[in-house]
Each structure stands twice: as C-alpha cells, then as structure tokens.
Amino acid sequence: MFIGWDWATDTHDVTVMDAWGKRIDRWELAHTEEGFAKTLARLGKHGAPADLPVAIETTRGLAVDRLLAAGHPVVPVHPNAFHAMRPRWGASKAKTDAGDSMKLADYLRTDGHLLPRLKPTEQATMDLQALTRTRADHVEARVAAVNRLAALLDEHWPGGKVMFASLDSDIALAFLERYPTPGSAAKLTPGRLEAWCKRRGYSGRKSGGTLMEHMRSAPAAASRVSAQIVEQLIRIQVQLVRSIRMTIAALDKAIADAVASHPYAPLFATMPRIGTINLAKVIGEIGPILERAQSCEQLIAEAGVVPVTRASGKSRSVAFRFATNRRARLALTQFADNSRHGSDWAAKIYNDARARKKRHPHATRILARSWLRVMWACWRNGTCYDPAVHQANSKINMTADTPLMP
C-alpha cells in the first residue's frame, strides 16, 4: 500500500493506493487531535504502519511528526519536483486536494524507491537543535535592539553614543540607564566619571578625562523631542537590550547542560576552537544529517559545502549550492573558520585554497569539507577526534561507510 498525504493548515487529504495503482481509500481530515487520531486508526486497518509509506510535500511539521511517531515511513517530496511531474497525470496540470493526494500516492508507488525516507532524529539532538536555533533568534534580536539603541543615541544624544562605544557593554548600559540624556550628564566631571566606572569594574583603557573629552566633543543633537521622552525611550531600550542578554545567558547555560550529556559531544569536543556553543550548533544541525546519511559524500552534499556540477554535451558548469540546509552550512563554516586559527592542518588546507585564488567563503567551505570527512570518520567508528589519527597525511580512510554509532 502507498499513502499520499496532501497537507494544509486547516484540513488534510489522504489517499491509499495499492501496488497496481487502484485507489483503495480516500478521506479528508481536520487539523485536530480527533482528526489525526481517526486517520492513524484508519490507516492501521490497511496494514502495519511500517508497511505503509506516506508521501508528503514537507519535511517537518505536526503531520510529519505524528506519522513518524506512529511508525510510518515518511517520504518527503519537494513541491517543485512534484509540480514538474504533474504532466504525467494530465496536460492541464489541474490541482485539487483530493487529486494531489492521489498523485502523491501514485508518485510514491512508481518512484518511491528513488526517494529518501525520513528517520526520527535522536531526541537529545532535537533538543540541542531547538536550543541553538532559539539562541540564534535571540542573538539576532539583540543585534537589532543594540542597533536601535545606537540610532536613538545618534539622533538624540551623540555624546551618549560615543560613551556607548567607548565603555564595556555592561558598563555602557549602566551608564545610559544612569545618564540617559545630555542634561543628566551635565554635572559629570572626569574624576566622578572615572570613580563611577571603577566601581563597576571598568578595564581602565581610557581615563575619565579622555572619556569626558570624547563625550563633550560630540556634536549636539538637534532633536525636537522633549528631554523627558528621550530619557524614557533610551531607558526602555536599555532594558530591552539587558533582558535579551539575560535570555541569551539562560540559553547558554541550558545549551552547556545539554551538550554535556549528548552522546555525540565527546566525539567532536576536542576539535580545535570549536567551543561549547559552536559544538552545540554542529551537533544540532549536522547530527541529523549524520544519522541519515548513507555515505560521507551524501553528508558533504547535504551540508552544502560542495558545489553543484552541471554537465550536458559540451557545456559544463560548477555553481554554488543554493538548495541546502543553510543552518547546517552556517554552523559548519563558522567552526571551520575558527579551526584554522588553532590547527596547523586546517590552516594549511585554507591557505592552500587561498593560494589557488579561492575567495575566503570558498576556501572556508573547502576546509569545512575536510572537517566533515573527519566528523564522519569519528561518528562512523565511534571514536573521539584525535589529530594524530584523523589528520595523518591529510587523508581520511573512507573505505567503510557503515556507521558504528547508534
């Protein structure tokens, strides 16, 4: 039996087809707990879940999670690939929910052996992935909040912006909270400013006189907003930046705890300059690909660090891979770029690529490709990273692709 699942926001359409292309069953379900429960029970009447693969036009979401949890093999079909196949069912390319579920089931019946199947990812890996992705969102929000604070200072108090750039981040926020307007800082003297900074642990790179001189030399703002409103705006923005910093700190602690108990962490923790956060990103984003990859070359392709070659007749082109897991590529290339500062082996690969006139991003991807071969070897054999073993002659033994890690 083959199942086609056309998913949507409020309703889904399911078709069951046998091996000869005959429609056995078809129904529509609501996006509710009752709808999913009845659908899974109805599918169970057609056989064991493991024998009922489901084709669906997505790789994630509630429907995919429920199907995987029930034990159904899930075959994701890219919408573009499915659209290109529509002429086989009619020249008009007509589209209905019931028709799409039937077409998906038929596509699975005829071409399913060529399509990859999703496998449930390790729970610890999914937890780590969720934490690191949330942290990335909060870091992005912090950057936006800091930029907005800088824009407010530039518009209403350029001298405060100079202090914000001159002091350490925690002290700068405390300064703006204490002195949010030019009027509130009017009575400051170099001695009082230096003493205030020292009480808050300022590194002392600049003296109080130098800081005051920089602040006083900044141009005066021509803002027509009242001082009371400016004070309120800046203090609120400072509170926002501080609150986001607190959430990032809490996420950092949660990530550190999750990494410490993850089974993959010991394999990669000794890699040069990987760090706790970057290690968590690599495990969370590369880990799911490692678990489903059948070979190292598949791992490299899915991580997006190998170009796409297109050859037809006399034409041949090698282009950047746009269709890939962008989060995985970003986590990997961040680690690769850091690693070249702590490993002579990594630095040589990067420098050799630069010597061949490769741009920095391209050279980083070349280095990331080498690191993926190392990661695959560690994961396949269940051994921790060892420079003496995994960097011998800059080659990794790729003869056996059967992983030994669970």
pLDDT digits (tens, 9 = 90+) for 208-238: 899 999 898 888 888 788 989 999 999 999 9
Query: Which residues does residue 56 pair with via DSSP β-bridges, in sequence order?
Result: 5, 76
Q: Which of 298, 276, 324 is nearest to 380 (CA)?
A: 298
Write out pLDDT tens, residues 102-161.
989 998 998 888 888 887 778 889 899 999 999 999 999 999 999 999 999 999 999 999
The amino acid at 340: R
Please name the helix (run of DSSP H) or strand (run of DSSP E) that holds residue 320, with its range, or none.
none
Give the model's pLDDT for residue 351: 95
pLDDT at 391: 64
Per the CB < 8 A criterion, the answer to whether 15 and 25 are in contact is yes
- pTM of this prediction? 0.78
pLDDT at 177: 92
CA-CA distance, 199 to 330, in Å (whole number)?
Answer: 40
Strand order in the sheet with 23-30: 23-30, 11-17, 2-6, 54-56, 74-76
Low-confidence ranges of the chain (pLDDT < 70): 92-93, 391-406
Tokens 């990594």, residue? Answer: 346
The Cα 348–Cα 334 span in angstroms is 17
The pLDDT assigned to 397 comes to 45
